[in-house]
Amino acid sequence: MFELHHLTALEQWEWLHAGRVSPSELLEHYLARVERLNPAVGALTVVEPERARARAREVESSVPPTAPLWGLPIADKELVPRAGQRTSYGSRLHADAIATDSHELVEQLDAAGAVSVGASAAPEYGLASYTESLIAPPARNPYDLARGAGGSSGGAAAAVAAGLLPVAPGSDGGGSIRIPAAACGLVGLKPSRGRLPGGSGLDRLAGLVVPGPIARTVADAALLLDALATATPWEFATRAPSPHDGPFLGAAVRGEGRFQLGVMTSSPWDAWTDIGIAPEARAALEEAVTELAALGHGVEDISLDAEPDYGPHFRTVWMAGAAGIPARTDAELALLEPLTAWLVERGRALPVERLLESLAWLTGFERRVIRRFSSVDVVVTPAVAMTPRPLGWYDAADAERNFEQQVQYTPWTSFVNVSGLPALTLPVGLTSGDSAEPGLPMGIQLIGRPGGEADLLALGAQWERRRRVRLHPPQW
């Protein structure tokens, strides 16, 4: 039986503009699904039906229909405050905190005509690549509720995969959009550093963190990307270059171009810990490369030079970023989870000279990566190295072991943040399951040139046209 969430976000947007459904009617459909399915999935930590209904009426009466997300339901990531809404940052330290001001990203989504239903789950301060905090139930993978949805935008990915939202914003400082998108069979896009005015990354330590879309299709991701990229006037001096003309949605719909692809399985973490590639991840990569070659794209192998200093320098910046978490007293520190407390302690003990050394080293690494990739248009890697991880798989007591596990699961994501490059994850298919073990999503990652989002979206659109299959979990 057909239901509204079976439409893509772009199709829902078209229905809204054609008057086939109103923002309020579309919202009610999703609120009913949230009420029925969210308790089992754990995607949303805050649900405010009455506030969302008031917002839908406001959109209908006073927001111009030309707004790029007019009437589409979304949810704010738990790390992004909305005035008057509980914003816990995934931490017991802020369990009952009500935001007094809205983040710029929230204001831009509102200006784009979106209707927020609440907040999506995130790990404590977004520091982990899985979403299993102590303040809320874990964000579960809709394909197998015994497994995690990834992180840190795990709640957003679980919501979109389970049909609780048509599309959702996430944020990505080391893979936090791409990891959960891959785990949940979705499209996830990390934009270039400097691309989005509401989260350029230029004001963040080492320029790591940027917002971006999580969606079911490439066009849906482009729809949300366009809304965020055109939210406010932006000075060219701080904006990622745009070699294309027109909205990103055009590139995602047309799907034009032939590209030279570099296939890579090495990672900058190889010298820091043992990185293994599970058979499922390798099979997904090989299948995708075969299909992309059949589309007429050039394919060659590419690798990164050995970078034994990458791990220590990235860890230094990750720890330094946690030093500013507002936990000062013993009582406040005791509320932090072990991984967060470890990062805070290490970050506050870092000598300034060590941080400056790491920032300078990573800047040089960024330039080396871009030079290394200059012979190809797009680099293709596995999205993650293993199948989605079972809940409780990450060590909750040993922070060193926990960090190593995160690296081993997702070795190809953090260096893209360091390099400021755009990257897109695409679902390839499900592992072969049985009655005891359901099929699990596996995907690939496409890494573009600086400002190369349009090429990634065009290549992703070609992939979708060739595959003509969308993944859906049992809740669908």
Q: Residue 373 is encoded by which pair of tokens?
A: 């990739």
CB of 153 closer than 8 Å to CB of 177: yes
Beta strands in 48-101 (DSSP E): 73-77
Q: Residue type at 472?
A: H
Which helix (DSSP H) or strand (DSSP E) does residue 366 occupy?
A: helix 352-372
Q: How does strand 260-263 pair with strand 210-215?
A: unpaired
Q: Rounded distance, CA 347 to CA 326, Å?
A: 13
Q: Rounded distance, CA 86 to CA 73, Å?
A: 18
Nearest in space to 458 (alpha carbons), one of 165, 164, 244: 244
Taking phi over 0 as left and psi of -120 to 50 as alpha, with beta for the rest, 333 belongs to alpha
Catalytic residue among 120, 152, 200, 267: 152
CB of 132 closer than 8 Å to CB of 138: yes
Catalytic residue among 102, 120, 176, 414: 176
Q: Residue type at 71?
A: G
Report how far apart, in Å, the C-alpha atoms of 455 and of each of 10, 175, 184, 370, 452 are: 20, 20, 24, 16, 6
Q: Rounded distance, CA 112 to CA 67, Å?
A: 5
Catalytic residue among 77, 120, 153, 358: 77
In sequence order, the β-bridge partners of residue 90 are none
Nearest in space to 379 (alpha carbons), one of 290, 301, 464: 301
CB of 275 closer than 8 Å to CB of 411: yes
Prior bond to 432 cis, omega within 30? no
- Told to judge if 190 belongs to the known catalytic residues of this protein, a careful annotator would answer no
- Told to judge if 242 belongs to the known catalytic residues of this protein, a careful annotator would answer no
What residues are labeled active site?
77, 152, 176
